[in-house]
Amino acid sequence: MKMMDQDFDFREMFILDLANNHQGSVEHGLKIIQSNAQVMKKHSARAAIKFQFRQLDSFIHPSHQTGSELKYIQRFQSTRLDHTQFQTLLNEVWANGLLAMCTPFDEESVQVAVDMGFNILKVASCSAKDWPLLEEIASAGPPVVCSTGGLTVEDIDNVVSFFQHRAVQFALMHCVSVYPTPDDMLALNQLRMLRNRYPQVTIGWSTHENPGDTIPVQLAVALGAQIFERHIGVETDEIKLNAYSSTPEQVDKWLEAHGRATVLCGALSRPPVSEVEQASLDGLRRGVFAKRPIKKGHVFSRDSVYFAMPYIEGQLESGHWKEGYQALQDVLPDQPIMKESVDIEVNQGVVTLKQVIHEIKALLNEAKIQLGSEFKVEYSHHYGLENFRKTGAVIIECINREYCKKLVVQLPGQRHPSHYHARKEETFQILYGILHVNTDGCPRILHPGETILILPGVWHSFWTDTGVIFEEVSTTHYNNDSFYADKRINKFARSERKTMVDHWGRFQITQGQDSPKVDEPVIADPQVP
């Protein structure tokens, strides 16, 4: 039996549906598998050959076993293979280094597929509301790919909840069950909808359009599809393919198009600026020039300078200009204002805080969490602003009465030191990212949707590698209710380890923060990380 690892990665997988294109011939089926395996090897593609299983003696009503005029029944009966013949094809799939996938259309077929060792099970669109079959598939064990052709949004919601509640590893496939699918029915924006609606689920595309058209697969790549499926076959003098099945040559072109689209789209993360691009931009930068004679000691105003290209290396550029700079030397008209010729005072702490606000807002946007600008925002920087990106957090206060709600945001790599609260009971619920929590020496890893209760007196610390947003719901928050394992932090005045911003839209730092230090006990370091 060829079973998969516990955690299956669906991403960048190509599904090649053999369906009934073997035409009831093992020899022809082997030819299809072998020829497409060569294409996959050429592109170093991760692929699965998909079979379709129906136990026809029970799947088809007795009155239609013979002489049926229904086209589907005629096709199934005329291309029938027995268990031994399917096993021969399955062995060829594995011999070529490919994954084996099976679409079972009845409960008995699920068990047959599992017993034969198929790596992945598929739910066809027509079976996505067949709950007895879905129950059998969910309990079978292998990871599952489910197509969504002909389903409403409510239907898809039900399927997603069904598999999530049963802890099944699954992916969704946008699919249009029209063979072949015309352009005006492809609806590729559904990929975007599915990705937004089910962000924790891998989304793919099962396609039935003209196999000679490679533009749709490129669009699907751009829209974020990560699994790609189409029907495959081989034509002979006697066997002709239907209008939606691909020859090996067409699969080759399909993969080429996919590869080019992948290169064109690039990574989702922002890439570093290339030297070529930077040089191009630098050639268009504007530098700051003196409009009139400037004497040493002059305080620059906007009317004493102008901005123009070309920018000179070491020059003050227009994007860094601010009124109030003082001249450290004389400058003649039309001469560049060099950085070394002006007194530039930079409050690095304020710069850090302002930059972090932009990063926090971006993280909230990425998580699709909408907030206004009227909230009080607390920067916790337990070891100084210079170490904020290593140790710290941003805490957004939503409400603080008999109950309290906050949003806590940490940037990638930030930690919050070990501490406890004497009075406050709090619950963390993860909204975005992954949070590592240590409570009284017991580590946990929390993912979106998971919660943890922290009672008064419980030592806890938390950190993130990815960046995290979580909701803190608690009893009333008191400023003098945090006691740290590191005795140095307890000795700091609150103003030394906290910066408050009253209105983060306008970045208004609270004035008069130097409040008296709260008497907090000096405690021994606990035996926790």
Averages of pLDDT over each 10 residues, the chain, 529 residues? 63 95 94 97 97 89 87 86 95 97 96 96 95 97 96 96 96 95 96 94 95 96 97 92 94 97 88 85 91 93 93 91 89 94 75 82 89 82 90 92 95 96 96 96 95 97 96 93 92 85 66 37 35
The Cα–Cα gap between 223 and 207 comes to: 14
- Report whether 179 contacts 75 (CB < 8 A): no
Structure tokens at 340: 């070394």
Structure tokens at 151: 């389903």
- pLDDT, position 77: 85
- Report whether 522 contacts 492 (CB < 8 A): no
User: Helices 83-95 and 107-116 sit at what angle, rounded to 10 degrees?
Assistant: 50
- For residue 137, the tally of other CB atoms under 10 A from its CB is 28
Q: Which domains can be identified in the chain, with CATH numbers?
A: 13-265 (3.20.20.70), 279-343 (3.90.1210.10), 349-509 (2.60.120.10)
The Cα–Cα gap between 456 and 477 comes to: 12
CA distances from 325 to 120, 286, 322, 342, 354 (A): 66, 18, 7, 6, 20
User: Helices 153-165 and 131-140 sit at what angle, rounded to 10 degrees?
Assistant: 40
317: Cα within 13 Å, side-chain hemisphere? 13
Q: Which residues pair with 445 in a beta bridge?
A: 436
CA distances from 211 to 217, 239, 243, 249, 252 (A): 10, 17, 8, 10, 11
CA 475 to chain centre: 33
CA distances from 474 to 56, 402, 406, 426 (A): 59, 9, 9, 4
- pLDDT, position 3: 42
Torsion of CA 95, 96, 102, 108, to 10 degrees: -10
- For residue 229, the tally of other CB atoms under 10 A from its CB is 24
Could you tell me the strand order of the sheet in which 415-421 lies? Answer: 442-446, 435-439, 460-463, 415-421, 482-484
- Report whether 20 contacts 53 (CB < 8 A): no
3-class DSSP state for residue 217? helix
Buried b / exposed e along 339-373 (16+ C-beta atoms within 10 A): eebbeeeeeebeebbeebbeebeebbeebeeebee
Q: Which of 406, 388, 381, 401 is nearest to 500 (CA)?
A: 381
Structure tokens at 269: 């993360």
3-class DSSP state for residue 512? coil
- Using the 8-state DSSP alphabet, how is residue 351 labeled? H
Structure tokens at 412: 């990638």
- pLDDT, position 346: 62
Buried b / exposed e along 95-125 (16+ C-beta atoms within 10 A): ebebbbbbbbbbbbbbebbbebebbbbbbbb
